[in-house]
């Protein structure tokens, strides 16, 4: 199939950007979306221009690096997948496709479709861990049985890949789903309970420092989350936060 692809081009963080149109022909339905961009980039390089910069790495939906806003939706038209898992069979011959970077002031554009998501790392650094050193004295793993439902729910939260689609999809650019996934995972497990209060307070404080917006419970984040992390985790985050604040 033949497609028109309109892509956000921005030289660097300081420059202003604009949408640029490209024609991509002979696209196979078996190509992934990123492979279609690869083909386009090869063409651009051969023409002597600069290829489109975009983040990507594992190309199997788990590293969380790819981050395209396609036709007005984070990771494109399908739910439950990342951009790299989107295949061209989801589009039709003659389509015009718009591709933008994540748009959030807490995720400044670095170049073209590449944004700076280091705010997420700083939130984890503020408290998204269990403070256990490596070493001896750690009890045998089976010492603490964990009820399967709690373990499963913690796992559901822990599948967050930190891609930032939740922020990109939210009209307020809120990071509540991301933060809640980690808070919820660790609050559900006995290992995480010891530091539950300080964790949630520190992570929420850092989230605000980074300039993410507030949560108004529209639920767009969960719909666009490639790992389908649910709203119940935001509810748990709120509960944990209130609990911690009341001391």
- Ranges within 147-186 binding other proteins (CB under 8 A): 147-148, 151, 154-155, 158-159, 161-162, 185-186
Q: Which pairs with CB-CB distance under 8 Å and at least 24 residues apart come from 189-194?
A: 189/146, 189/150, 189/151, 189/154, 190/144, 190/146, 191/130, 191/132, 191/144, 192/130, 194/130
Of the pair 80, 216, the CB lying nearest other proteins is at 80
Sign for the pseudo-dihedral over CA of 18, 100, 221, 109: negative
- Determine, following the binding rule CB under 8 A, whether residue 75 of this chain makes contact with other proteins: no
What is the C-alpha radius of gyration for the chain, rounded to an integer number of angstroms? 20
Closest contact distance (angstroms) between CB of 51 and other proteins is: 6
Task: Indicate the helix (H) or strand (E) that contains 24.
Answer: strand 18-24
Number of neighbours of residue 133 by Cβ within 10 angstroms: 7
Rounded-to-integer distance, Cα 113 and Cα 40, Å: 14
Which residues sit opposite 23 in a β-bridge?
A: 4
Q: Looking only at residues 5 through 34 of this chain, which bind other proteins when binding is defined by CB under 8 A?
A: 11-12, 28-32, 34
Determine if 87 is a binding residue for other proteins (CB under 8 A). yes
Give the one residue of 7, 40, 126, 167 binding other proteins; rule: CB under 8 A: 126
Is the CB of 100 or the CB of 112 nearer to other proteins? Answer: 112
Q: CA triplet 159, 213, 235: central angle to 5 degrees?
A: 50
Pick the piece of the chain touching other proteins (CB under 8 A) from 68-76, 139-147, 168-176, 211-219. 139-147
Q: If binding is defined by CB under 8 A, does position 140 make contact with other proteins? A: yes
Query: 63 or 244, CB closer to other proteins?
Result: 63
Phi, psi values for residue 117, rounded to 5°? -105, 20
Residues in contact with other proteins, counted by CB under 8 A, come to a total of 78
Minimum Å distance from CB 221 to other proteins?
A: 19
Contact range with other proteins by CB under 8 A, out of 68-76, 97-105, 132-140, 232-240: 132-140
The residue (of 138 and 242) whose beta carbon lies closer to other proteins is 138
Site for other proteins in 180-209 (CB under 8 A): 185-186, 189, 191-192
Q: Which residue from 16, 93, 94, 134 is in contact with other proteins, where contact means CB under 8 A?
A: 134
Question: Which residues, numbered 45-74, are part of the site for other proteins (CB under 8 A)?
Answer: 45-46, 48-51, 53, 55-65
Q: Whose CA is closest to 230, among 130, 151, 159, 127?
A: 159
Output the six-digit token pair for 151: 């373990």
Buried b / exposed e across 139-155, counting CB within 10 Å, b at 16+? eeeeeeeeeeeeeebbe
Nearer to other proteins, 13 or 216 (CB): 13
């Amino acid at each position: 199939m033949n497609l028109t692809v309109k892509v956000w081009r921005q030289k660097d963080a300081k420059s202003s950007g604009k949408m640029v149109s490209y024609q991509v022909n002979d696209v196979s339905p078996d190509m992934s979306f990123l492979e279609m961009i690869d083909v386009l980039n090869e063409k651009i390089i051969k023409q002597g221009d600069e290829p489109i910069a975009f983040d990507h790495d594992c190309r199997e939906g788990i590293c969380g690096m790819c981050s395209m806003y396609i036709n007005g939706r984070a990771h494109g038209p399908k739910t439950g997948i990342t951009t790299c898992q989107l295949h061209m069979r989801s589009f039709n011959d003659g389509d015009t496709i718009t591709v933008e970077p994540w748009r959030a002031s807490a995720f400044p554009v670095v170049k073209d479709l590449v944004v700076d998501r280091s705010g997420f790392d700083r939130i984890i650094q503020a408290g998204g861990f269990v403070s256990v050193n490596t070493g001896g004295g750690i009890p045998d793993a089976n010492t603490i049985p964990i009820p399967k439902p709690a373990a499963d729910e913690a796992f559901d939260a822990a599948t967050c890949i930190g891609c930032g689609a939740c922020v990109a999809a939210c009209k307020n650019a809120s990071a509540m789903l991301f933060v809640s996934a980690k808070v919820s995972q660790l609050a559900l497990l006995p290992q995480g309970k010891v530091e539950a209060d300080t964790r949630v307070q520190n992570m929420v404080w850092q989230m605000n420092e980074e300039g993410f917006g507030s949560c108004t419970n529209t639920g767009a984040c969960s719909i666009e989350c490639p790992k389908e992390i649910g709203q119940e985790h935001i509810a748990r985050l709120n509960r944990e936060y209130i609990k911690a604040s009341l001391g």
